[in-house]
Amino acid sequence: SFLFVPAVEVKIEVVIPEKERSKEEMSPNGKASPLIYKVNGTARHYHLEEHPIASNPYHNPKDVVEASVCHVKDLENGQMREVDLGCGKALLIKESGEFHAVGHKCPHYGAPLVKGVLSKGRVRCPWHGACFNIGTGDIEDFPGLDSLPRFQVKIEKEKVYIRASKQALQTQRRTKMMAKCISLSNYNLSSTNVLIVGAGAAGLVCAETLRQEGFSDRIVMCTMDRHLPYDRPKLSKSMDFHPEQIALRPKEFFCTYDIEVLTEMQVAAVDIKNKTAVFKDGFKMEYNKLLIATGNTPKALSCKGKEVENVFNIRTPEDANRVVKLATSKNVVIVGASFLGMEVAAYLAERAHSVSLVELEEVPFKKFFGERVGRAVMKMFESNRVKFYMQTEVSELREQEGKLKEVVLKSGKVLRADVCVVGVGAVPATGFLKQSGINIDSKGFIVVNKMMQTNIPGVFAAGDAVTFPLALRNNKKVNVPHWQMAHMHGRIAALNMLAHGTEISTVPYLWTAMFGKSIRYAGHGEGFDDVVIQGDLDELKFVAFYTKSDEVVAVASMNYDPIVSKVAEVLSAGRTIRKRDVDAAGFFLLFFRTGDMSWLTGKGS
């Protein structure tokens, strides 16, 4: 198990604003630790050479390009254009009479931002909803970790010129400047200023945000995983990736910014009185601030034969890789038409001999997307050789020589199966907190406020394991187990560890990918009572508006970008979309013909 930080006894000078230096509440000892790794369960010290931060590309004149890209009258206010500078492209934006230039690709998965949504000083990605400030390039909503590069714009003789770094044009991403530990000597191995339990999106964004805000004390992340933080959604969408290929940050990053990561380290209990985390192996670590971001634990089957070999919950890259290897040209049974179950079915359909999916509901995604959208998705799967067994459950898993051979359903049907993937939901991974005094609800979720604070001072929680007040739904306490939301939770928690008093107000945004098609979704549709569908479900080209009473609470689309991002912007602005607005075909056609949704921002309450 590895923990990556720089060598001991190396003093690092960091330029930190005076206001950040004064935050003594976060720096009781000014100490940090060396690199540590575990061998056979033993913590040891390890020295690693310091990795320098990349230099400013503008310091090298040969790396700079300047080009005339258009006439000032070529763009109207509110317009964006992708422009070519010869060695790379930029996104040119005109808003309120001013021109701005930033990177043209979303750093998350490379979506063309020119096809996104421009609204009040920021551009929203058309694919997954990340938002970037057009003046600074900074990321303001997620998913993704990096910001956009910002380029210089000047106007001469009514021509618009962009001056840019060639390197930035090629990378199309910018990592924000971060602080480090001011001192790496006289550390205390069993004490940290910030302890982050969990190394998913929430944990990593929390650590990065602290460093971006100038926090210069010790940060330790711990995880049950064998790996550094990785892109977990890819486990079910692209199952043959190796861990290194889906790492969110390379090893050197954690080194450079003094973020320590303890892998294969499970917290067994938290002593809030003594501010101590107790690990499963008996190791104890004191903390000043604590973030709990443990995510959830997949539910297992409870039927006869559940311990048979080749039955999987997809939890790690190794799980996903092993399923692909075993499933190739074999018979696969997937239990549960969840997002994970459906994505795994889609991925394996081209590789396995057969894919069967067992589900208790009548159609997939019924509670989330509604029956009509669920049936359309089901038809797409059936046309790709996936066989559904609906309104039934697994009663038994049969083995031959210890390995899975058959899956028996309660309906009496017997399915041949070499591999079984279980996707029947998950429970919050919070069992270790039961005696802690931290407020847990009846379902096991950690209860937090708008600042991601628990009922215990100095203890924060984020990600899939929490319920929090959702501004979009009048601050109703909800659980939103989405990748984007985990990022935002981590950021809000970090800012409030630093006493910024920042409240969460983001609009939930998610996506699922199957057979090369994506469904995008924004809002929170729990409890919807009607679905207004525009477009053609049979052609898989549609938009579904989820309503509760007279109000649109969520939207989903397939092959109609960027409408979900547009609606997300409207909801983010605090405006209400009424059912009558999306029922009217004339208004809807206006969007498809012109891309204009001003009728939404100008109507409602």
How does pLDDT run across 100-155, given as a tens digit for each residue? 999 999 999 999 999 999 999 999 999 999 999 999 999 999 999 999 999 999 99
Q: What is the CATH number of the domain that holds 21?
A: 3.50.50.60
Q: Do 64 and 88 lie in a common domain?
A: yes
* Cis before 143 (ω within 30): yes
Report how far residue 131's alpha carbon sits from residue 137's, in angstroms, rounded to the nearest whole number: 9
The pLDDT of residue 46 is 27
Helix and strand tally (H, E) in the chain?
A: 14, 39
Report how far residue 276's alpha carbon sits from residue 291's, in angstroms, rounded to the nearest whole number: 12
Distance set, CA 195 to CA 141, 260, 270, 459 (Å): 24, 10, 11, 10
Say yes or no to pLDDT of 231 above 50.
Answer: yes
* End-of-domain residue from the set 154, 171, 188: 171
Q: Do 21 and 119 lie in a common domain?
A: no
Q: Which residues pair with 66 in a beta bridge?
A: 163
Q: State in Å, rounded, how far the first CA of the chain is from the last one.
A: 54
Among the residue ranges 39-53, 281-295, 393-407, the one predicted with the least confidence is: 39-53
**Radius of gyration of the chain from its Cα atoms, rounded to whole angstroms:** 25
Can you tell me the mean pLDDT for 433-454?
98
Q: Which of 29, 26, 36, 33 lies closest to 10, judged by CA?
A: 33
How many domains, in total, are found in the chain? 5
Which comes out higher in pLDDT, residue 119 or 183? 119
Amino acid 603 reads K
Say yes or no to pLDDT of 199 above 60.
Answer: yes
Among the residue ranges 41-45, 78-82, 87-91, 461-465, the one predicted with the least confidence is: 41-45
Residue 504 lies inside a defined structural domain of this protein: no
Residue 137 lies inside a defined structural domain of this protein: yes
265-294 confidence digits (pLDDT tens): 999 999 999 999 999 999 999 999 999 999
Report how far residue 61's alpha carbon sits from residue 66's, in angstroms, rounded to the nearest whole number: 11
Position 531 confidence tier, pLDDT thresholds 50, 70, 90: very high
Q: Do 340 and 405 lie in a common domain?
A: yes
Say yes or no to pLDDT of 55 above 50.
Answer: no
What is the token pair recorded at 364? Answer: 């997939």
Q: Do 371 and 345 lie in a common domain?
A: yes
Q: Do 342 and 397 lie in a common domain?
A: yes
Say yes or no to pLDDT of 45 above 60.
Answer: no
Q: Which of 598, 553, 601 lies closest to 579, judged by CA?
A: 553
The pLDDT of residue 229 is 98
Q: What is the CATH number of the domain that holds 123?
A: 2.102.10.10
240-258 confidence digits (pLDDT tens): 999 999 999 999 999 999 9
**pTM of structure:** 0.89
Say yes or no to pLDDT of 11 above 50.
Answer: no
Q: Do 454 and 467 lie in a common domain?
A: yes
The pLDDT of residue 384 is 98
Q: Which residues pair with 65 in a beta bridge?
A: 164
Residue 239 lies inside a defined structural domain of this protein: no
Say yes or no to pLDDT of 54 above 70.
Answer: no
Q: Are 456 and 272 in contact (CB under 8 A)?
A: yes
Query: In this prediction, what percent of the chain has a pLDDT beyond 70?
Result: 85
Report how far residue 553's alpha carbon sits from residue 23's, in angstroms, rounded to the nearest whole number: 40
The pLDDT of residue 184 is 62
Q: Do 321 and 405 lie in a common domain?
A: yes
Q: Do 522 and 581 lie in a common domain?
A: yes
Q: Which of 554, 556, 603 lies closest to 580, judged by CA?
A: 603
The pLDDT of residue 603 is 43
Residue 301 lies inside a defined structural domain of this protein: no
Query: In this prediction, what percent of the chain has a pLDDT beyond 90?
Result: 83
Say yes or no to pLDDT of 64 above 50.
Answer: yes
Per-residue b or e along 93-110, where b marks 16 or more CB atoms closer than 10 Å to that residue's CB: bbbeeebbbbbbbbbbee
Q: Do 411 and 435 lie in a common domain?
A: no
* End-of-domain residue from the set 424, 456, 474: 424
Residue 166 lies inside a defined structural domain of this protein: yes
Report how far residue 17's alpha carbon sits from residue 345's, in angstroms, rounded to the nearest whole number: 51
The pLDDT of residue 596 is 55
Residue 241 lies inside a defined structural domain of this protein: no
Q: Do 132 and 196 lie in a common domain?
A: no
Which comes out higher in pLDDT, residue 31 or 1? 1
Position 12 confidence tier, pLDDT thresholds 50, 70, 90: very low
Write phi, then psi, for 403 (nearest 5 degrees).
Answer: -110, 150
Write phi, then psi, for 20 (nearest 5 degrees).
Answer: -80, -35
The pLDDT of residue 69 is 96
Can you tell me the mean pLDDT for 65-84?
96
Q: Do 211 and 287 lie in a common domain?
A: yes
- Name the DSSP class of 508: P
Report how far residue 595's alpha carbon sits from residue 599's, in angstroms, rounded to the nearest whole number: 11
Q: Which residue has 């607005």 as its token pair?
A: 581
Average of per-residue pLDDT values in the chain: 88
Position 583 confidence tier, pLDDT thresholds 50, 70, 90: confident
Report how far residue 453's alpha carbon sits from residue 9's, in angstroms, rounded to the nearest whole number: 35
Which comes out higher in pLDDT, residue 369 or 14? 369
Query: Can you give the residue range of the structural domain that contains 118?
Result: 57-171
- Name the DSSP class of 473: G
Report how far residue 466's alpha carbon sits from residue 428's, in angstroms, rounded to the nearest whole number: 8
Say yes or no to pLDDT of 372 above 70.
Answer: yes
Report how far residue 51's alpha carbon sits from residue 396's, in angstroms, rounded to the nearest whole number: 54
Residue 360 lies inside a defined structural domain of this protein: yes
What is the token pair recorded at 356? Answer: 């069967």
- Which residue spans within 103-236 are E strands per DSSP? 117-119, 122-124, 131-133, 139-141, 150-156, 159-165, 194-197, 219-222
What is the SS3 assignment for 245-287?
HHECCCHHHHHHCCEEEECCCCEEEEECCCCEEEECCCCEEEC
The pLDDT of residue 59 is 54
Q: What is the CATH number of the domain that holds 541?
A: 3.30.390.30
What is the token pair recorded at 469? Answer: 């007040």
* End-of-domain residue from the set 135, 156, 171: 171
- Name the DSSP class of 304: B
The pLDDT of residue 421 is 98
Say yes or no to pLDDT of 29 above 80.
Answer: no
- Name the DSSP class of 550: T
The pLDDT of residue 168 is 94
The pLDDT of residue 358 is 98
Position 21 confidence tier, pLDDT thresholds 50, 70, 90: very low
Q: Which residue has 């004339």 as its token pair?
A: 586
Q: Do 252 and 349 lie in a common domain?
A: no
Say yes or no to pLDDT of 601 above 60.
Answer: no
The pLDDT of residue 592 is 53
Helix (H) or strand (E) run with residue 45 in it: strand 42-46
The pLDDT of residue 62 is 78
Amino acid 543 reads V
231, with CB counted inside 10 A (0-12, 13-18, 19+), is buried
Pure H helices in 383-436: none
Residue 240 lies inside a defined structural domain of this protein: no
With both helix axes pointing from N to C terminus, report the angle between 339-349 and 317-327 in degrees, rounded to the nearest 10.
40
Report how far residue 170's alpha carbon sits from residue 570's, in angstroms, rounded to the nearest whole number: 32
